[in-house]
Amino acid sequence: MDFGLTDKKAFVVGASKGIGKAIALELAREGCDVAIASRTVTDLEQAAQEIAEATGRNIIAIAMDATSREQVDAAVAEAAQRAGRAAHPGEQRVASRRLGGCHRTHRYR
């Protein structure tokens, strides 16, 4: 199925294994370059390599703690920079039940 995501950028938290990894893999299969994040560096790097090999997409691994707003902000900025895009105000949208201590969709500025 084509969702029109070719060459789009995505950011998935908790993506070193389980459902987060599956989401990142499917986004990459749809043509996205994906930044994946989690706290466990070894699992994260392995997941990034597996997804990149399976899809041929650019997968960026970023270690962070999603309960820290500062780490989330830094990770989003790093992902944008490493993907070759400037982090423009209001551009990054991250949906999460609990991300950086909040319970809603964040618009990072």
Task: State pLDDT tens for residues 8-17.
Answer: 888 898 899 9
Q: Which amino acid is at 20?
A: G
Q: Give me the sheet containing 9-13, strands edge to edge.
A: 9-13, 33-38, 59-63
User: How far apart are the C-alpha atoms of 102 and 104, rounded to whole Å?
Assistant: 6
- The mean of the pLDDT values for the chain is 81
Please give the average per-residue pLDDT across 83-99, as a whole number: 54
Total residues belonging to the chain: 109
Q: Is the pLDDT of residue 88 over 60?
A: no
Residue 66: CB atoms within 10 Å: 19
- pLDDT for 6: 83
Question: What does the radius of gyration of the chain's CA atoms come to, in whole angstroms?
Answer: 13
- pLDDT for 85: 66
Residue 36 near residue 20, CB atoms below 8 Å: yes
SS3 state at 13: strand
Residues 6 or more apart from 53 whose CB is under 8 A from it?
none
The superfamily CATH assigns to domain 9-108 is: NAD(P)-binding Rossmann-like Domain (3.40.50.720)
- pLDDT for 52: 97
pLDDT band at 4 (very low <50, low <70, confident <90, very high): confident
For residue 105 the two structure tokens come to 């969709």
Question: What percent of the chain has pLDDT above 70?
Answer: 76
Query: What would the pLDDT profile of 44-82 be if each residue is shown by its tens digit?
Result: 999 999 999 999 999 999 999 988 889 988 998 898 888
